[in-house]
Structure 1
Amino acid sequence: MNQTNTRTSAKDLLNYGLLGWALGAVAVPIYIQVPYLYSRIYEVPSAWVGIILLLSRLLDALLDPAIGLWVDRRSGQGNRYALPLLLAVPLLLLGMAGVFFPLGNNPVEYAASLMISLIVVHLGYSFASIAYQAWGAELGHTDKERSTFVAVREGVGILGVVFAVSLALETNAGLIFTVFAIMLIVGMFLLLKFSPQPDQAARNAAQKTAQQPASALAQTFNNTQISAAKAIRKGFSDIVQPMRRRNFRKLMGVFLCNGLAAALPATLVPFYMRDRLGLGDADQWVLAVYFLMGAASTIFWVWLASKIGLARAWLLGMVISIPAFVVVIALGQGDLAGYLLVCVLTGFALGADLSLPAALVARLIEENGERGKTEGTYFGLWNWVNKFNLALAPSFALGTLQWFNYSADMATTDAYQNMGLLQQIASDPLIWVYALVPCALKLLAIVLLGRSGLASLNTTTPNTAIGSTA
């Protein structure tokens, strides 16, 4: 009992979770603020920005599973998460500096600078997030503990998001970057120095099974009779090993649809607020309400998950978000109060997305009998899907707006104002991509999760692995 209390003490949760502030200040502003900043301020064509975001994230995502496998194969070398976390620091600092302060004097040079900077910052984020998530997955022993560590990490991350999105990037880049750098260094120090360590018993058990693959890997390079092709096939087989688990494949499908449903409106929210609603920089506090509501609601979702299970609670969060998409369609110029309601509803549902899916991955790792062995590999694939969503969303969203010749003043023209609501919906590509397509994806995610069988998982710690490889 003492061990459990220590593991979940407020001090330990803070030491583990504070790094989330800096990572939150990296991820969300890039796919919320960067598309608007570069397409409107630096005058890079929106389709170019979409392609740059797509290519940089796809290049980075290809490395995520390999990074996860590398982290797992470092078992037996002290804290296997320390090195990737330390490697992330210079990459994140250099990459974010390049994103905030691009080099160049014309759109082509700005576009090239953005591409290089994004590749660097995404690589640093991969090292940090995979190791960070895998570390947290080893700390919890019950659904409540798992979701608590995730909720603290993501909740603190929301504070970083709120700080970044509450300030206009084009006028406050120096302040945002300075505070980000300080929080990154402080959070990394607390994590590595004072955070709870993964269970030694689980680590010792993992080392027994990890020694054999490590020995086999050494023999691969030392034995000339084993070809490089076989070593590559072995590495690839280890990387995709979690995909052999039916429960993880089903969860990945749900996460793909639900993540894309969130990434599309996140990409277009500055366009929607300014072009559709006529809101300006002074109204950025509305986004802060959304993210703060998400952070605050994690307390409710952690409690609910402990009562009805992780999957059922996540399903309820998806259902709650659907009405908000309907409200978005009917809003127009000056509807700040209506949009505030949307932010409250979707922010409350965001708490489920923040605290439950990653905890569910940790639960499946234990269900599959792989605790202390393959957390890095699982979260490497998990991050790959997340980055695929973030890569596809801006390319699809910005490309669609340019394809249909969308203009910033479309919603303010007399012709548009004289249309009925259905005509406006049919003629406005922003509404389609910001609200209707995400609504359809969210409904698909609900169906997939409901049919996955994951909701049947109980809330107690299992004694046997049930993950089928069929």
Structure 2
Amino acid sequence: MSETVHEPDPRSSDPGRGSAGVGTVRADRPSLRERLGYGAGDLASNLTWTTITSFLLFFYTDVALIGAAAAGTLLLVGRILDAIVDPAVGVLLDRTNTRFGRARPYLLFGAPVLAVLTVLTFVTPHTGGAADLVWAGVTFILVGLAYSLVNIPYGALMPMMTRDSQSRMTLSGFRFAGASLGLVVVSAATTPLVAAVGGGDQRRGFLLTVTIFAALGLLLFWIVAGTAKERVPFVHVNRERGSFKIALGTMLRNGPWLAVFGSTLAMFARLGVITGGTIYFALAVLGNPAAITLVLTAFSVSALAGSVVTPWVLRKLGHRRGIVLGLLASVVLTLALIPLRDNLPAFVAVFFVANIVGGFGFVAAPALISDTVEYQEHRSGQRNEGLLYSGYSLGTKVGTALGSALLAWGLAAIGYAPDQHTPGIATGVLWLYVGLPIVLALLQAAALACYRLEKQLPAISAELAARRASQA
């Protein structure tokens, strides 16, 4: 799909490097060892962040005994600060070039900090006063900063590993497989682990469980750093006054990046509605609390299955066409859930398939962002991997928050109350759970329909190769 660039590894003389990818593997294609190692990074990320997003609010309210309103405000403010920090981390990454590499130093030295702060986030002074809230606020803000310092370089590592678009799509599939596995592990193992290692003491149970997850995540990030090869040479960033403004302006005129960013907002808003809305749907519509675990597990496993089939589907249909057709199919299948709500096995089966075909974009988005890096270099001479990926990271966070807000506003509009599951409320929750994902899937498809880079990429890659050859 794009040209093959036979360039030596710019860090081949680094004694700390492994031999992954050497031998029969072409210079621009990551080896199986590298692909597996790269996928381990999103398993590490989800052992940390999915644990925080899924269980921290419960820990605050039921273990640390912080008021729900104060805990919710704390989480919202922390998320806003994350969104402010992400572009700064991206700019810092674009200026990093060390003997350890560009992204690898953040994984080597940032991952231990993230692990420690993750554990401290699930510690509470338990004073019953303001100290508990202050501790929670400080640790949550710091763990968010540490996560950005590790996860943004991890994501930006992909376009540093290869210029080949199809290879990036394969890496993206391995990454999403790791993310899906992390989601399944956290969803299925956290509550039983807390009970088993805590012996009835939830404070102790959460501390030991999160310590296990954090230590495993640290080792997995180190595996990424030890296996990944940064093949694409560093492009010196313009550090003159106003250079950031120029890079930001180029990004905001990068049409393919804007299409992926808009798609990401809608996609993660849909994720927020599905994961957050399942509990309301199970209780108010199905009247079956056990369905919460069943439906969420089906969603998690659909993500894992999607990581396997997506690269094959998009290789056959093309990136944009495959994702858009998958979204349209998911709309039809989601509508079919309405008459199936009284038949739980059939409902879960259709829900599972709908989320596989509707989830192609989750697998492909990091690879598409990596392709927009080539477009950015073609337009401006600067790759700006960190800046472009930090914008994608911002889209995931804002999108998730937007989905939660839409769900909450919808529940308020239908007059939802925890102790009043009337037929009218059940109907309203049903249409929120089905209707919002449909609208957001259509918005995602519309945004991605504007993505025109796929056909242009071979010519862009060839021109960039010619530029590099002339400058050699």
Band of TM-score, shorter chain: 0.7 to 0.9
Q: 1:257 aligns with which of 254, 262, 266?
A: 266
- Letter paired with 2:225: L
User: Contact 2:159–2:385 at 8 Å: present in 1 too?
Assistant: yes
Residues 86 and 8 of structure 1: CA distance in aligned 2, closer, same or farther (over 3 Å): closer
Provide the residue aligned with 2:308 in structure 1: 299
Shift of residue 378 of structure 1? Answer: 0.8
1:196 to 209, 224, 228: 228
User: Structure 2 length as normaliser, TM-score?
Assistant: 0.78
Q: CA deviation at 1:68?
A: 0.8
Distance 1:73 1:25, change over 3 A: same
In 1, Cα distance between equivalents of 2:122 and 2:284: 24
Match of 2:200?
none
Q: Which residue of 1 aligns with 2:11?
A: none
| Counterpart in the other structure of 1:320 | 329
> Any residues of structure 2 matched to 1:356-435 within 5 Å, and which?
356-369=364-377, 373-398=383-408, 401=411, 406-411=416-421, 416-417=422-423, 424-425=426-427, 428=428, 430-435=429-434
CA contact (8 A) 1:69 1:238 kept: no
Moved more, 6-15 or 29-38: 29-38
Change (3 A) 1:451 1:21: closer
In structure 2, how many angstroms separate the alpha carbons of the residues matched to 1:137 and 1:330?
A: 45
Code of the residue aligned with 1:382 in structure 2: it is: Y
Cα distance in structure 2, aligned partners of 1:390 and 1:455? 27
Gaps of 5+ in 1: 217-230, 466-470
- Counterpart Cα distance in 2 of 1:400 and 1:68: 35
* Separation of aligned partners in 1, 2:129 and 2:360: 39
AA of the residue aligned to 2:26: T
Which letter maps to 2:317?
I
Aligned to 1:277: 286
Tell me the residue number matched to 1:220: none
Q: Which residue does the alignment assign to 1:438?
A: 437
Change (3 A) 1:317 1:464: farther
Are 2:220 and 1:187 equivalent residues in the alignment?
yes
CA contact (8 A) 1:154 1:355 kept: yes
* Structure 1 residue aligned with 2:79: 57
SS at match of 2:377: coil
Structure-2 residue corresponding to 1:82:
104
CA, structure 1 residues 33+185, in 2 after alignment: closer, same or farther (shift >3 Å)?
closer
> Is structure 2 residue 137 aligned with structure 1 residue 147?
no
Deviation track 1:373-425 (CA, whole Å, cap 9, x = no partner) reads 321111011111111122333344346546765323433xxxx24x6xxx843
**TM-fit CA distance, 1:31:** 3.6
Q: TM-score if structure 1 supplies the norm length?
A: 0.78
Q: 1: CA distance between counterparts of 2:284 and 2:129?
A: 22
- Do the aligned partners of residues 354 and 400 (structure 1) sit closer, same or farther apart at CA in structure 2, a change above 3 Å counting? closer
Alpha-carbon distance in structure 1 between the residues aligned to 2:262 and 2:144? 23
Counterpart code for 2:220: G
C-alpha spacing 1:308/1:143, structure 2 compared with 1 (3 Å): farther
For the 8 Å contact 1:61–1:388, the answer to whether it is kept is yes
Counterpart amino acid of residue 224 in structure 2: L
Paired residue for 1:159? 181
Contact 1:81–1:135 (8 Å) recurs in 2: yes
| Matches of 1:85 and 1:452, distance apart in 2 | 31
Q: Which has the higher contact order (CA 8 A, sep 6+)?
A: 1
Amino acid at match of 2:233: R
What is the Cα deviation at residue 72 of structure 1? 1.0
Describe the shift of the 1:398–1:14 C-alpha distance in structure 2 as closer, same or farther (beyond 3 A): same
Output the amino acid matched with 1:354: F
Q: Which runs of 5+ in 2 are unaligned?
A: 1-22, 196-204, 465-472
SS for the counterpart of 2:276 is: helix
Q: CA deviation at 1:133?
A: 1.0
Paired positions, count: 429
Write the distance in 2 (CA, Å) between the matches of 1:252 and 1:178.
Answer: 34
Tell me which residue corresponds to 2:157: 135
Q: SS in structure 1 opposite 2:383?
A: coil
Percent identity over the alignment? 20
* SS at 1:166 equivalent: helix
* CA–CA distance in structure 2, aligned partners of residues 391 and 463 of structure 1: 40
Residue type at the aligned position of 2:256: N
Deviations along 1:322-348, one digit per CA (max 9) or x if unpaired, are 23533555565x854244224412441
Q: Is the 8 A contact 2:103 2:153 kept in 1?
A: yes
How far the C-alpha of 1:145 sits from its partner, in A, is: 0.8
